Amino acid sequence: MIKPEITGLVLAGGKSSRFGSNKALATLQGKTFLHKAFTLIQPFCYEVYVSGNGEWYDISKYPIIPDIIPGMGPLGGIWSVMQQVNAKYLLVHTCDMPLMTPWMIRRLIEEGGGYEAVFWKQEDGKIQLFPSLFSIDFFPVINRMISQHEFSLNKLLPAYGVKMLEAKDTECKSFFNMNYFSDYKLLENNMPVDW
């Protein structure tokens, strides 16, 4: 898989209701979480977009693709972008996983070629939906789900052509998800120096 074949997507359209404010624009050590996610996947992609809906669009310096139909969650963002970009693969990440590493992104791309969708599976069996990789060939499956008003990404897991990458225990800290403000405080007090 080569860089021109990959478009990147950062999901930043969540309501952040548990966090209390827009997670995408929360800052740590002078960087927003949106910036961290965007710059993480940018080296692997020909182009990168941000997906979501919000009043912060006018202050964002990143290219935005709004949801065509708001309220469908991450699947709606993926569906909207797949209709508007010309790429063989869509690399999808989210703005609230600040400990994700370039190594995990590289593994996803290098081991995900030839599959229609690629997700992570931890050694304890837990499925991690992000970061993930989608082939444009998977678009009919997503389109069918949208037409049936089924918006859960978990429903994609049994589909034909889906690959589960095994994440080692030592890699699982990369999946830390910042859902609550207490998670942010935990990060603030234990942030790696190279963040």
* Per-residue pLDDT at 54: 62
CA dihedral over 100, 106, 40, 179, signed as positive or negative: negative
* Per-residue pLDDT at 4: 82
Determine if residue 71 is labeled as part of a ligand binding site: no
Residue 159, exposed/middle/buried by CB under 10 A (0-12, 13-18, 19+)?
middle
pLDDT tens, residue order, the chain (195 aa): 678 899 999 998 655 545 545 777 777 777 888 899 999 999 999 999 998 776 555 556 788 888 888 888 899 999 999 999 989 999 999 988 988 999 999 999 999 888 999 999 999 999 999 999 999 999 999 999 999 999 999 998 888 889 999 998 889 989 988 776 667 676 666 765 455
Q: Are the C-beta atoms of residues 97 and 111 closer than 8 Å to each other?
A: no
pTM, rounded to two decimals = 0.89
* Per-residue pLDDT at 19: 52
Determine if residue 96 is labeled as part of a ligand binding site: yes
Determine if residue 23 is labeled as part of a ligand binding site: yes
* Per-residue pLDDT at 114: 86
Q: Are the C-beta atoms of residues 121 and 167 closer than 8 Å to each other?
A: yes
Determine if residue 26 is labeled as part of a ligand binding site: no
Determine if residue 13 is labeled as part of a ligand binding site: yes
Taking domain 3-186, whether its CATH number is 1.10.3720.10 is answered by no
Q: Are the C-beta atoms of residues 127 and 120 closer than 8 Å to each other?
A: yes
Domain ranges of the chain: 3-186
Report the C-alpha gap between 68 and 77 in whole angstroms: 8
Determine if residue 155 is labeled as part of a ligand binding site: no
